A and B are shown apart, each in its own frame.
Chain A
Amino acid sequence: MDIGVSKKKLGLKERYSLMTRGLGWEPSYQAIDDVFPMDTFEGIKIHDWEAWEDPFRLTMDSYWKYQAEKDRKLYAIVDAFAQSNGHLTVSDARYINTVKLFVNGLAPIEYMSHRGFAHISRQFRGVGPRVACMMQSLDELRHAQTQIHAISNYNRYYSGMSEFRHHYDHLPYLQVPKSFFEDAASAGPFEFIIAISFAFEYVLTNLVFVPFISGAAYNGDMGAMTFGFSAQSDEARHMTLGLEVVRFVLEQDPANVPIVQKWLDKWTWRGVRLLTLVAMMQDYMLPKRVMSWAEAWEIYFEENCGALFRDLARYGITMPPCVEQVRKERDHLSHMAWCQFYQGRATNNFHTWLPSAEDMDWLSAKYPETFDRYYRPRFEYWAKLEAEGKPFEATGVPMQCQVCQIPMFFTEPGDPLTLAQRHRHYKDEQYHFCSDHCLTIFDDEPEKYIQAVLIGHELFKGNAFAPGTDPTAEGFDPAAAALAFWRIEHGRDNGAHVGSQDEGNFALWRGLASSNAETGNEGAER
């Protein structure tokens, strides 16, 4: 009779090897190039996939365990936040607009990131990167979910969040993050991973997360702060992956260097253009501010990334040339953006306001070279118009950059009173750009960007109306039809913060929560 001998428990190293590299196999009846048809066309040469060093020694079984533990902690806090009416403990009702920006602009790109990494985790023939990409794909899905869950607490009480998915697909300003990510996701797997893992997650990630998550902490938003911390250990892993990818690709073949450099140039610029939204949030939308965009740029780019690029110099990689222009725009970016969002407030799904005298003093202190000279006069004039009861609001459809899709509000570097424009003929058509760098990106792949869906043009084609709308009907109002299609309830979701339903409800509910006052419930309702 045999006596069952229990197998020796696997050692950590052995287990790790079996659960990662051990999951791959050599195909026997299909050519390897047919199994992995997408990892060569970009021109990146990989001679030895085994040289890939797994940036995080994590196997699927321990991954589930860690993430489940983090989720348990997170959801305990999210539930407590809901039960204790945590939304009333934030610094000021204006803060909620930051949350709106987050769920509309950032959570959907986390989801797109999940899809992108899922895609490339199928496309690399090396097992190591495939496993790493699969885990990142799951991380990104978890981030999107936890962000949506945490922010759903706000959605029960305030406007502008319930249609975040539809808004991401259609609302004008959200076409900027959407087109950014679709540009990456429609590239090959190497460009995607350099763009997202390195340029975005490594080079720029602190400029995204620190302002939002520290902003949440400073403004008493326990829910958002907690999902930020819950995501932090994942982000650390993602940054390690970004650095490993770039190192691996550069070491495999010298011919990879110029290709990688081109992608770094492109995605650093595209990333910074996207961060315009974050710069604006930091300087204008947080009632209690963390630091200015200019300060964040100095710490997280100039100091941290300066060292990084000095390190990459040994492969022949240089600092992307766009950084020169980013420096020149540093003290203008957030102001230009807020001017745009203020005057285009009818098509936003969050509220805007003019900076108070105190806000403006802070802005002049942080931006001594630019704020008083170029931007304070605008805000003071608009405040005067508001006081006179005739607030300024743009009525035109903005001209957009063909690449970044941002309205052409950027000024010439070094000439803050002249709007920048670049122009190109391609085949039978002409195109316009906000900058030399967006033009360079277009010139490199014009066939890609001539397909860009520019929301202003879609309006004129009649594509921003609900199916069945008859634009020839008598009394047809195109602006109202577009808002209906975008699912923006005019006067509730959009427009000024002062006098908004959100402002009224917040004051009313906070009053109820912090006093014994009986309320006649004057006008504030959901």
Chain B
Amino acid sequence: MSVRAVRAYEFEARDAEQHFHGARIVYAGWDGHLMFASPYAWPLPPDLPFAAFLAGPLAGAFGQHSDWPLIDWSKATWTRNGEPFVPDLEATIAANGIVHKDSLRFATPGLTGIGGAGI
């Protein structure tokens, strides 16, 4: 529905990709590891290889967890905006079809968090 207003009411999206100096926003969260209160956001260069995203920003955020070094990335499952998603670790963010403000989540079967409590 449109906004009821005293005059025409139309605006540019404030967070369009062009405002991020060549980067695009990507969100990622780790399912079953609620020690991390929320998913996080990063501005990523579209030509960043997906593996470098895992080894860099993602490891920086989630690496403090004792499950992190145990992850077998070949078994991890991903979703993108709630839909199943299979990333190619060698391909770039752009080549993986990841667009601005995509929300990724990954699950790591067998890793059940601190004390098996999902945290």
Contacts and interface: CB of A to CB of B under 8 A. Distances in A.
A428 interface: yes
A339 interface: yes
Interface in B1-51: 1-6, 9-16, 19-21, 23, 25, 27, 29, 31-32, 34-43
Nearest to B117: A377
B102 interface: yes
A395 interface: yes
Q: Which one of A392, A407, A429 has the greatest number of beta carbons of chain B within 10 Å?
A: A429
Contacts of B5: 41
Contact of A451 (B11, B27, B32, B43): B11
Contact of B14 (A377, A399, A452): A452
Nearest to B64: A392
A417 B117 CA distance: 9
A374 B34 CA distance: 10
Interface in A295-333: none
B87 to A, nearest CB: 18
Interface stretch (A220-228, A356-364, A439-447): A439-447
Given A460-B23, A460-B25, A381 B37 contact: no
A460 B43 contact: yes
B20 A432 contact: no
B60 interface: yes
A407 B19 contact: no
Interface in A382-433: 392, 394-400, 407-409, 411, 417-419, 421, 423, 426-432
A454 interface: yes
Interface residues of A, number: 54
B40 A398 contact: yes
Q: Which one of B6, B10, B35, B102 has the greatest number of beta carbons of chain A within 10 Å?
A: B35
Interface string B89-102: 00000000001111
A462 B19 CA distance: 9
Contacts of A451: 11, 13-14
Contact of B38 (A408, A417, A431, A454): A408
B59 to A, nearest CB: 11
Interface residues of B, number: 49
B103 A421 contact: yes
B10 A399 contact: no
B101 A431 contact: yes
A258 interface: no
Contacts of B43: 460
Q: Is the interface of B mostly helix, strand, loop or mixed?
A: loop
Contact of A397 (B35, B42, B99, B105): B42
Nearest to A384: B114
Interface in A51-104: none
A396 B13 contact: no
Interface in A446-498: 447-448, 450-454, 456-457, 460-462
B16 A445 contact: no
B71 interface: no
B1 A397 contact: no
A341 to B, nearest CB: 9
Contact of A399 (B11, B32, B35, B103): B103
A396 B41 contact: yes
A408 B6 CA distance: 33
A516 to B, nearest CB: 47
Contact of B4 (A43, A396, A431): A43
A399 B41 contact: yes
Interface of B: 1-6, 9-16, 19-21, 23, 25, 27, 29, 31-32, 34-43, 60-61, 64, 81-82, 99-103, 105, 114-115, 117-119
14 contacts: A336-B37, A381-B35, A394-B36, A395-B60, A398-B41, A399-B27, A408-B38, A417-B118, A428-B16, A429-B13, A432-B27, A452-B14, A453-B14, A454-B15
Given A408-B38, A444-B1, 20 more contacts: A37-B6, A38-B6, A41-B5, A41-B6, A377-B117, A392-B35, A397-B42, A409-B38, A419-B38, A419-B39, A429-B100, A432-B27, A445-B2, A450-B11, A451-B11, A451-B14, A452-B14, A457-B25, A460-B25, A462-B21
